[in-house]
Amino acid sequence: MVDYEKQFEKPDYEIGVRQTQVASVFRLVYGWMCAGLALSGLVAWYTAVSGLWQRVLMGPGLWICIIAELALVWILSASIRKLSVGAACAMFIVYAALNGLTLSVVFIAYEIALVQRVFFITAAMFGGLAVFGSVTRSDLSQMGAFCGMALWGLIVAVVVNMFFHSSGFDWIVSFAGVLIFSGLTMWDAQKVKLLAQADGGMDGAMRHKAALMGALELYLDFINLFIYLLRIMGRSRD
């Protein structure tokens, strides 16, 4: 006589383990992303209200911070497998703090009420995009590749407009930035889901480092969405 209860006990157990692994990866990724955003926000606010920005960001200080941020992102991306978990976490924290220093100009250039409003709009928009990217069954890799290529064009456009100072072109760049990082948010959220589903092949250290990279990508998506929405709404207010 077949014991159907025992027959289905193992698959149910495996499903439960898989769901636990997926939830663990999601907690790591979005936990680190939110921690990075909170740290950047606190550093940006303190730097602005304390007047520290005048000593840190005046002259070459701003460019030193930007170069250091780019270097940290490059090192994390290129050497994540070789780094220890502690080193990767420390670099993520330092990056978030440095980015907070450069973001302090937001509190100086815009009214605090506008910054708060745009932040909540960005959070709602980001949340919707991330949920869609996580639950959709469509393959978003082609869209992600297109947005990645478009990002290089956006960077070139921003640099070019630094010389021409065209307000109309700045509008186009800002709206393009929102569209590009909306697409990247959905794609990066789907990559987190794929990472979680493939979690069984990674040890604890590699899982944590992969989650940090996912958190960094989503962190950058959120920050850039926030900046471009702030530019659009700030100009509309003016």
Per the CB < 8 A criterion, the answer to whether 183 and 191 are in contact is no
Whole-model pTM over 0.85: yes
Question: Could you tell me the maximum CA-CA distance found in the chain, to the nearest angstrom?
Answer: 82
Q: Which of 192, 197, 232, 229 is nearest to 214 (CA)?
A: 192
Query: What pLDDT sits at residue 8?
Result: 44
**Token pair belonging to 83:** 């780094």
- Following DSSP, what letter does each residue of 38-94 receive, concatenated? HHHHHHHHHHHHTSHHHHHTTTTHHHHHHHHHHHHHHHHHHHTTTS-HHHHHHHHHH
Query: What pLDDT sits at residue 11?
Result: 52
Report the number of distinct structural domains present in the chain. 1
Per the CB < 8 A criterion, the answer to whether 103 and 46 are in contact is no
Q: What's the Cα-to-Cα distance from 72 to each of 14, 98, 197, 213, rounded to whole Å?
A: 38, 10, 28, 12
* Domain span at 32: 4-237
Mean pLDDT for each 10-residue chunk of the chain (238 residues)? 47 54 83 95 92 82 87 89 90 94 90 93 96 92 93 91 83 94 95 78 75 93 95 72
Per the CB < 8 A criterion, the answer to whether 70 and 106 are in contact is no
**Token pair belonging to 80:** 């994540």
Query: What pLDDT sits at residue 54?
Result: 83
Query: What pLDDT sits at residue 201?
Result: 57
